[in-house]
Chains A and B, each alone.
Chain A
Amino acid sequence: MTTKLTREQRWLQAAIVGPHERGARAPAGPASSAGAARHVRPSATLTSAERVEIYSGMYRLRMLEALQHDYPALLAHLGRAGFERLMLAYLARHPSRHYSLNFLGDALPGYLAGARRLKQRTLLRDVARIEHAITAVFDAPASERLDPRSLSTLAPADWQRARLALAEPLELLALDHAANQAVTDLRHGRKLRDARRRRTWVVVYRKEWTVWRMDLERAGFTMLRALQQGRTLPQAIAAGARSFTGRPADFQARLQGWFAEWSAEGLFRSLTLAPRGR
């Protein structure tokens, strides 16, 4: 049953957000004067529509501020006007439905991926994926970390059964641009150096309270992804070897260094042994 309260609330909400959602295609306009006067009393100094517009203006500012906070590199690349236009179009499709503004930008990478008429769509999507990963990793609860010495104590006979679980929070990203460098440059006020398409791989993780990003090679990404999917250590290494584009000897030579670095960075949560015979 639609009550009078529901009708009043739906009207006010539409009057607040409507101008900005229409604004994705046309300039924002004032709330309908006749509609506002039916629902809202004028004050000594403001008409009914002007009183509604106070809320409408604050809504726009609040939403854009939240998105700017999470996507500063996108803002730097697009400029304020371009960023605001894009974000208002995004909000019209993905309005907040969560009690916290922290999740307002969650659907942005997916939205950009589907925005076919957008210039530099894949670059913007990749930058957004990294910035979203930074926010998600910042806020997520942390798992235990494996003592880096654990790997060196693993008996050779047990290597075939070893499973390395990745620590949390951690996000592995395969990208179509050098977006990690782009995020660093843009967040430091530098211009974008390389907007060309080329495959890159990044891991976003946290040590204590600080979020870090590390560029990976394809083989490194493949191994970490396999471990994340629950493969044993030999299976992950085999997958990494298949994706390595250099000589097998080079892969073997670098393997130990990769694992030593990842272990020192705390990318692993635990080392377990699968039951024998499986």
Chain B
Amino acid sequence: MKRRTARFDFEDLGLGVGLRAEHFEHVLQHRPAVDWFEIVSENFMDSGGRPRGILDEVAERYPIVVHGVSLSIGSSDPLDRTYLKQLKALAERVDARVVSDHLCWTGVAGRNVHDLLPLPYTAAALKHVVQRVKQVQELLERPIALENPSSYLDFTASELGEAEFLAEVARQADCALLLDVNNVYVSAFNHGFDARAYLDALPHERVAYYHLAGHTHKGTHLLDTHSDHVLPAVWELFEHAVRLSGGRSTLIEWDEDIPTFEVLHAEARKARKHIDRALRGASRVAPRAAAR
């Protein structure tokens, strides 16, 4: 138990934003007072050009978190050893504070559809994912953080809820969580589950950091577009999560209709107010998951 506490004694990096090509020049020229940057691993793993050069400069000045979209931890295809080798090299190069990816699969039979596809939440899938997370952590020689995906379908074969599945993966594989609060909100709407109950079911001592983002209402469903400000209902849900975890590093994702860096940074700074408010009221909440 002591070992686990030490393993998940996450450093609070503060308020971060995703490093995107649109902001490269601004970041290098103005050196904004953002606390940390998250990079999408695949954008830098094979680049020896400008993106990599800029990343090296940014990594000298800011803490970096490495966030992937192609680990495909849930795929029934074998793990891609070349990918993992390159991921490890990138994480070492930028002295990554956390390495994260999604609870999903991105393709099968050798293909990659480059989407974060949901898994059927079955006992067999749980065993499969747990084994693979353990292998990945062994290869990377560090724990990884798995993010709850936003999803638009669920399988008839599922025997467990997503939160229950994710919590079991984290416990059995001894990995961390990246809690995307917007994804919880989006999936709760799309599947009709209770977002707060989802948060309550997670092992919050394992939450390494939070993601927040905007989404788009398509009438029949919510789409995780990362294209706008964080909505009030998501900030409210974030406060609930912070009460449960006690506060963690927090990041704003914004990938479509990307605004100026100042707008993005201001969105990240909004999180401080919500974290402070949540922590002031934290003693009034009984965190079910954390008490287990």
- Hey, which bits of chain A sit against chain B, CB under 8 A? 3-6, 8-10, 12-13, 16-17, 38-41, 43-46, 48, 50-52, 54-55, 58-59, 62-63, 66, 95-103, 137-142, 169, 206, 209
Contacts and interface: CB of A to CB of B under 8 A. Distances in A.
Interface of B: 42-43, 45-53, 70, 72, 75-76, 80, 83, 105-115, 117, 119-120, 122, 124-125, 128, 152-157, 190-192, 219-221, 223
A134 to B, nearest CB: 11
Contacts of B155: 8, 39-41
Contacts of B80: 99
A6 B76 contact: yes
A104 B46 CA distance: 13
Contacts of B223: 54
A102 to B, nearest CB: 6
Interface centre among A5, A40, A141, A209 (most CB of B within 10 A): A5
Nearest to A51: B153
Give 4 closest A-B pairs by Cβ, nearest first: A141-B48, A209-B50, A99-B70, A51-B153
A97 to B, nearest CB: 5
20 contacts: A6-B108, A8-B157, A9-B75, A13-B117, A40-B155, A43-B192, A46-B220, A51-B153, A52-B153, A54-B152, A54-B221, A55-B117, A59-B115, A62-B115, A96-B112, A99-B112, A100-B43, A139-B47, A141-B49, A169-B48
Contacts of A13: 107-109, 111, 113, 117
Contacts of B83: 99
Contact of B120 (A8, A95, A98): A8
Contacts of B70: 99-100
B67 to A, nearest CB: 14
B154 A97 contact: no
A95 B72 CA distance: 17
B40 to A, nearest CB: 10
Nearest to A211: B49
A44 B75 CA distance: 28
